[in-house]
Amino acid sequence: MELTLRQLRAFRAVAAESHFGRAAVGLGLAQPTLSKEIKLLERTLGTTLFERGPGGARLTAAGGALLPIAETMLADAARLMSEAQQLRSSGTRALRVAATPSVVNRLLPAVLRTLETQRPEIEIHVVEVDTGGVPEAVRAGRADLGIGHHVTATPGCGRRTLAHDELQVVVHASLAGQGRSIDLKRFARLPLLMWPREQNPEYHDALLKLCQERGLDPLILTGSTRISGARSYLLREGRAFAIVPRDYAVTEPAPLVSRPLTQPATVPLQALWRPPLTAPVSALLRAAREAIDE
């Protein structure tokens, strides 16, 4: 027969109260249940712990000698539980997520909503970065995980493609035409507003390549770090067009409109994280997958 923490708590309570009834009330137990726990402990230890009498209960010599050991065992058990809680907390610590402009409009809010429901213990801190800024944020330790389009492979980091997002054209309504899609060749004389190439060369070059494959060699107009920045007035005035992921495109206000390309194209949506692949990171990746599949 093995002793239990419940028996040790009963031992400590009776010793403190010198009375079985009061000790039972303090522990929220029926007195017969408490008495049974003490008897089981005495049987396991092979000694009597209390002298029972009409006035209450007094520790025997053996009980007095064993009580400090029981209290130490209970303190160690409490410390064990506290340490385990801290370890659990470290496994579900706050997660810093770097997100580019094309992610924060729809995908990230959907991910946060899912995690709030399914994993409320994970606290998310969003780090908004410019296009191409995910690798640097993760590499520098400003974020534990980042999500963006055409995320550059980074040594020492894990990378996963979550989806391939449709690209759309954002342009002034007067230049969009009547069709449901847009042929890029209609913009032969209209500059393409983009962020600087050095922010994400792979993404920048991929957009230029898809234009060229569709018969357009555009004049590049470099704006600020994002197309919604200082030069966005060029879009609103019909003096430029942009090509962006659909989630970003649909949030542009009038007089701008968004249309898919006549020859469809996509851009990879990717996640980047610093190993190891922790439980919070895995949970966020699953939530992102669910949001994409909705």
Q: Distance from CA of residue 218 to its chain's centroid?
A: 39
Work out the angle at residue 284's Cα, subtended by the Cα atoms of residues 282 and 286, and round it to the nearest 5 degrees: 70
- For the 5-91 domain, the top CATH level (class) is mainly alpha
Do residues 84 and 265 make contact, with C-beta atoms less than 8 angstroms apart?
no
The per-residue pLDDT for 89 is 55
- How many helices and strands, by DSSP H and E, does the chain display? 11, 11
The per-residue pLDDT for 87 is 53
Residue count (the chain): 294
The per-residue pLDDT for 262 is 95
pLDDT confidence band for 69 (50 / 70 / 90): very high
Do residues 134 and 147 make contact, with C-beta atoms less than 8 angstroms apart?
yes
Q: Is the pLDDT of residue 92 over 70?
A: no
DSSP state of 81: H
Whole-structure pTM value: 0.65
What digits encode the pLDDT tens for the residues 34-64?
A: 999 999 999 999 999 999 988 889 999 999 9
Distance of CA 129 to CAs 41, 98, 126, 193, Å?
62, 6, 9, 19
Q: Which two tokens stand for residue 283?
A: 């949970």
% of the chain exceeding 70 in pLDDT: 91
The per-residue pLDDT for 84 is 66
pLDDT confidence band for 7 (50 / 70 / 90): very high
Closest CA to 187 of 158, 220, 209, 161: 220
β-strands 56-59, 95-99 pairing? unpaired
Element (H, E) at 208: helix 201-213
Angstrom distance (rounded) from CA 217 to CA 212: 5
The per-residue pLDDT for 122 is 85
The per-residue pLDDT for 88 is 59
Q: Which of 9-18, 101-110, 208-217, 233-242 has the lowest mean pLDDT?
A: 101-110
Q: Is the pLDDT of residue 226 over 80?
A: no
More confidently predicted of 70 and 85: 70
Mean pLDDT, range 134-139, rounded to an integer: 93
Closest CA to 7 of 61, 77, 55, 60: 77
Q: Is the pLDDT of residue 24 over 60?
A: yes
pLDDT confidence band for 133 (50 / 70 / 90): very high
Q: Distance from CA of residue 48 to its chain's centroid?
A: 55
Around Cβ 52, how many Cβ atoms within 10 Å? 13
On average, the pLDDT of the chain sits at: 88
Cis amide linkage into residue 155, ω under 30° from 0: no
Angstrom distance (rounded) from CA 186 to CA 50: 96
The per-residue pLDDT for 15 is 93
Cis amide linkage into residue 260, ω under 30° from 0: no
Domain boundaries, the chain: 5-91, 95-288
Burial environment of residue 15 by CB neighbours within 10 A (0 to 12, 13 to 18, 19 or more): buried
Do residues 123 and 94 make contact, with C-beta atoms less than 8 angstroms apart?
yes
What dotted CATH number matches 95-288? 3.40.190.290
Mean pLDDT, range 121-136, rounded to an integer: 90
Half-sphere exposure of 216 (CA within 13 A, CB side): 24
Crossing angle of the two packed helices 5-17 and 61-91, in degrees rounded to 10: 130
